């Protein structure tokens, strides 16, 4: 039986779109410790998921709980480089600092390290026919993105994170600005 040309074209288009969505976060990597489960997230995720379904946008829910991916270059924080911290959109746990953020050219926010080793959890991900390391919030279990071993020094890691899974909190203003009233010369006052 001869394949239907229209169905073949649709299949090819679907495969191409899937490949484009995974572009930038599609490299095969090995876990940091072979054979060792690194995930500490998940148990709390059931508590957060019900609340998040009501509070998050459909796009945020798709990324955080259905493990979706925002299109490359579409995220609010891809080209964002203000001083501050990036928190989980679901539970507000601090995950990354702006000092570790860099432009990887992948189309997603990239960090070379998390704020500390307990902030994120990782787990093997075999979806899309490849092996990757998924990154999740260690507190609530929400999906953040993936980590790859092609980042800059000092860690060599690239945490490829969806903007939809993050909330940015600017750094507090510096307390080093002088108090002009306190520095006024008392002789100048009447």
Enumerate the active-site residues: 160
Q: Give the Cα separation of 24 and 108 in Å (integer).
A: 8
| C-alpha separations of 67 from 5, 59, 77, 134, 186 in Å | 32, 11, 18, 9, 64
Strand 94-97 relative to strand 84-88: parallel, antiparallel, unpaired?
antiparallel
First to last CA, the chain: 102
CA distance to 31, 112, 113, 130, 145, per residue, from 154 (Å):
18, 8, 9, 27, 21
Question: Percent helix, strand, coil in the chain (nearest 5)?
Answer: 30, 20, 50
């Amino acid at each position: 039986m001869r394949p239907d040309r229209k169905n073949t074209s649709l299949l090819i288009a679907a495969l191409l779109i899937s490949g484009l969505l995974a572009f930038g976060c599609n490299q095969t990597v090995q876990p940091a410790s072979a054979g060792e489960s690194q995930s500490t997230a998940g148990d709390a995720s059931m508590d957060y998921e019900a609340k998040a379904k009501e509070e998050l946008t459909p796009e945020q829910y798709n990324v955080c709980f259905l493990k979706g991916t925002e299109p490359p270059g579409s995220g609010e924080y891809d080209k964002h480089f203000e001083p501050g911290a990036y928190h989980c959109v679901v539970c507000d746990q601090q995950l990354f600092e702006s000092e570790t953020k860099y432009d990887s050219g992948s189309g997603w926010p990239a960090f070379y390290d998390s704020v500390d080793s307990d902030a994120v959890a990782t787990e093997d991900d075999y979806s899309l026919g490849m092996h990757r390391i998924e990154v999740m919030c260690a507190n609530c279990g929400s999906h953040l993105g993936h980590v790859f071993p092609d980042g800059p020094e000092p860690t060599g890691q690239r945490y490829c994170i969806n903007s939809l899974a993050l909330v940015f909190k600017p750094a507090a203003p510096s307390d080093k600005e002088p108090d002009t009233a306190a520095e006024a010369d008392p002789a100048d006052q009447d």
